[in-house]
Structure 1
Amino acid sequence: MQVTRATFDEVMVPNYNPAAIVPVKGLGSRVWDQEGNEYIDFAGGIAVNVLGHCHPDLVKTLKEQGEKLWHLSNVFTNEPALRLAQKLTHATFADKAYFANSGAEANEAALKLARRFALEHYGEEKNQIIAFNQGFHGRTFFTVTVGGQAAYSDGFGPKPGAVEHVDYNNLDALKEIISDKTCAVIMEPLQGEGGVISPMQEFVEGVRALCTEHNALLIFDEVQSGVGRTGQLYAYMGLNVVPDILTTAKSLGGGFPIGAMLTTTEIAASLKVGTHGSTYGGNPLACAVAEKVLDIVNTPAILQDVLRKEQLFRDGLNKINQKYNVFSEIRGQGLLIGCALNEQYKGKARDFLVASAANNMMCLVAGANVVRFAPSLVIPDEDIAEGLARFERAIEHVVNS
């Protein structure tokens, strides 16, 4: 059966507006469409394809596990899930892991746990959740309400209550509304969808101190910043701040759907038998692939090379910007990079994305004013150079149009 981009409009719900091309094959940091055209991938499936497309070790692991065991109900546990939980807890502050299928589900679990923990230890009045404007925590109704972009949660009826927002990097604003009624503060230690915004050190340390003072749990949403993206296994490791709960997904599965919530033994105790669950969470296929991803990424060689590759991107982008003067700032950490457009090109991020695709380079946006890159952590240097050359041609097109 022949399918094309037009088929999407015929049979798919119109909540997406995908590009005109239909990718059919990927290898490393390159992708091919139905017409055989080749693209450099700087998007990484939105920070998901942490080891590129069809990494041979992941393909091998998936095939091997696929011939053993795919799925069990949660009446049983399984070896890949147990090994992955061991490795995640050994590598982080956490003692316990809960597996889901996505970042939204991991955040849903984290927020439910925070409410449950507060109820059990402090009473039902302690239920306020504080999040940050422009934050993004998923698309379930609870997580999209907690996310700080009202456009994603408006229009679906009454929203979950006791959720409030303040500006990111504004500690005074947080001080004004946090209280002993606050059960949790949730934040990205590097805002992704909100524009690739890094936290100021005094801000993130202040958030931790305020949470401790008011017996509120600090939840770090590391769905986008985790699994080597910043050059640390998790971004908190470079901030000298330890959260109470951490969520991880995207890169964790290298392209296979999986999410995880990590926390301490004391806090985890509030999710007693029957209080939360997931049909597919912790399935052997996903956990086997994620275990292999973690084995590969959590090594000094990979993590240190992320920072070297970051510099290649920064040097190349600064050189391009000296020529065309379109960016006010190149920001982000590791291989989560945001090219913030200056006043002259404000609101035109999508123009650069479309022009990039026309020049056989795949990138992302983070709002209307930021072009975002989230490539594979093992992208070859020559693909970085070629991708930037294609990006420069895209910029030239936008500037001259």
Structure 2
Amino acid sequence: MTSNEIKALYKDNIMQTYARFDVVIDHGQGARVYSPEGKEYIDFTSGIGVNSLGYGNVKWAEAIYQQALKLQHMSNLFYTEPGAALARELTARSGMAAVFYANSGAESNEGAIKLARKYSFDKYGQGRSKIVTLVQSFHGRTITTLAATGQDNFHTYFFPFTQGFAHARANDMESLKSVADSETCAVMLELVQGEGGVLPLAPEYVKQVEAFCKEKDLVFIVDEVQTGVGRTGALFAYQQYDVSPDVVTFAKGIAGGLPMGGILANEKCAGVLTAGTHAATFGGNPVTCAAALAVLSQLTPALIADVAGKGARIKKTITGWNSPRVKEVRGLGLMLGVSIQGAAPKEIAAKCIDSGLLMLTAGADAIRMLPPLTITDEEIDAGLAILEKVLEDAK
């Protein structure tokens, strides 16, 4: 089909819940994707951080193919080898004690919320269920994870929201302490607030939150849905912050393009969710587990170090332009935000796309970069050349 035929089918048959860019993507290779008519784009989005190995990765595709021929799905009432092998890999590389498999970031965060509340109920009984999150956070699109999200623009239409959440200002311990009362059971935060604008938390603040949670016996939850799986220059961002969370959620890049998420828990929390208290029909699907194993096998220490190096090079390059449109470059690894002034980020992103560079936005002022972790220097340079020209031409 042509691009126009595909767009017409979307318009006629799909709920219009996305403000889509006027682009149809047909196939890709590396960090480049192509329309049905063959127009090339450098991809600085990777499906919002999902396509961690880029496009056309043969080892990843072969793992999926071989597993699909062998066993495509099995109920969690039985055991499968891919689920077992992936759990061993995740716990070994994270230092956590156990994993629960889910299908998305929102579902992973919802499960973490349940885990925290059950931990508190088991130990302290009823009345200790509040979870503190941060202003500008984003934790998902379900009713409960929207309540956890600390952005007012998401808090419309869908009332009533799940009760039991409070929002503190980021990097402000006094703000957190003012809302974390005797009814609180957990603190949940993103180490880099992605949807909020690619806003890294201060390391000293995160250490203070960890200490506060230990002192009060609160479950310390780190949402790594976007920051995890090598994205920030470590397998998980918390490993760069030198903290030990009780619970870590992940999704997006773990299976390289297939829907998967999960919850990692330490010894304190590994046994909280018992038989019958939580489940996911498709969680731990053998094909997605095989895909995740293929991703992790390629996320070697050398590649993850390369992610950090490439992120630093992108920051240095953009800062070196001395563009009046660039206010700040922030983020970790290949999770970067460019704060724009004197122009609307959505307009900059749209012009980049028109010029052959797929770009995202985040928060009120930033364009966002989440390229494949395997992006080459050549692909980076080609994408940055487009961005520099767009910023130069911006009115």
TM-score bracket for the superposition, by shorter chain length: over 0.9
Q: 2:275 aligns with which of 268, 273, 276?
A: 273
Tell me, yes or no, if the aligned pair for 2:33 and 2:42 is still in contact at 8 Å.
yes
Aligned twin of 2:120: 118
Tell me, yes or no, if the aligned pair for 1:40 and 1:362 is still in contact at 8 Å.
yes
* Displacement after TM superposition at 1:355 (Å): 0.4
* Displacement after TM superposition at 1:170 (Å): 1.3
Aligned twin of 2:346: 350
Tell me, yes or no, if the aligned pair for 1:21 and 1:34 is still in contact at 8 Å.
no
**Alignment: residue pair count:** 393
Aligned twin of 1:18: 20
Tell me, yes or no, if the aligned pair for 1:107 and 1:143 is still in contact at 8 Å.
yes
Partner Cα distance (2:38, 2:49) in 1 = 24
Give the share of equivalent positions with the same residue, in percent: 38
Partner Cα distance (1:260, 1:381) in 2 = 32
Tell me, yes or no, if the aligned pair for 2:167 and 2:179 is still in contact at 8 Å.
no
Partner Cα distance (1:312, 1:203) in 2 = 26
> What TM-score does the superposition give when structure 1 sets the normalisation length?
0.95
- Where structure 2 has 5 or more consecutive residues not aligned to the other structure, the ranges are none
One-letter identity of the residue aligned with 1:340:
S
Q: How does 1:334-345 map to 2 (within 5 A)?
A: 334-342=333-341, 344-345=342-343
Q: How does 1:95-110 map to 2 (within 5 A)?
A: 95-110=97-112
Q: 1:128 aligns with which of 130, 137, 148?
A: 130
Q: 2:240 aligns with which of 238, 241, 245?
A: 238
Partner Cα distance (1:192, 1:8) in 2 = 28
Aligned twin of 1:255: 257
- Where structure 1 has 5 or more consecutive residues not aligned to the other structure, the ranges are none
Partner Cα distance (2:127, 2:360) in 1 = 41
Q: Aligned Cα RMSD in Å?
A: 1.2
Secondary structure of residue in 1 paired with 2:199: coil
Query: Greater CA deviation, 172-181 or 111-120?
Result: 172-181
* Displacement after TM superposition at 1:180 (Å): 3.2
Secondary structure of residue in 2 paired with 1:67: helix
Aligned twin of 2:305: 304
Partner Cα distance (1:389, 1:175) in 2 = 46
Query: In the alignment, is residue 333 of structure 1 matched against residue 348 of structure 2?
Result: no
Tell me, yes or no, if the aligned pair for 2:245 and 2:266 is still in contact at 8 Å.
no
Partner Cα distance (1:314, 1:128) in 2 = 38
* Displacement after TM superposition at 1:270 (Å): 2.0
Partner Cα distance (2:329, 2:7) in 1 = 34
Deviation per CA, 1:274-315: give whole Å up to 9, x if none: 111111010000000001111111x22101111221122112
Q: How does 1:48-59 map to 2 (within 5 A)?
A: 48-59=50-61
One-letter identity of the residue aligned with 1:370:
A
Aligned twin of 2:355: 359
Secondary structure of residue in 2 paired with 1:53: coil
Q: How does 1:29-68 map to 2 (within 5 A)?
A: 29-68=31-70
Tell me, yes or no, if the aligned pair for 1:349 and 1:365 is still in contact at 8 Å.
yes
Secondary structure of residue in 1 paired with 2:392: helix
Aligned twin of 2:176: 174
Q: How does 1:77-226 map to 2 (within 5 A)?
A: 77-226=79-228
Query: Greater CA deviation, 51-60 or 261-270?
Result: 261-270
Q: How does 1:307-322 map to 2 (within 5 A)?
A: 307-320=308-321, 322=322
Tell me, yes or no, if the aligned pair for 2:246 and 2:268 is still in contact at 8 Å.
no
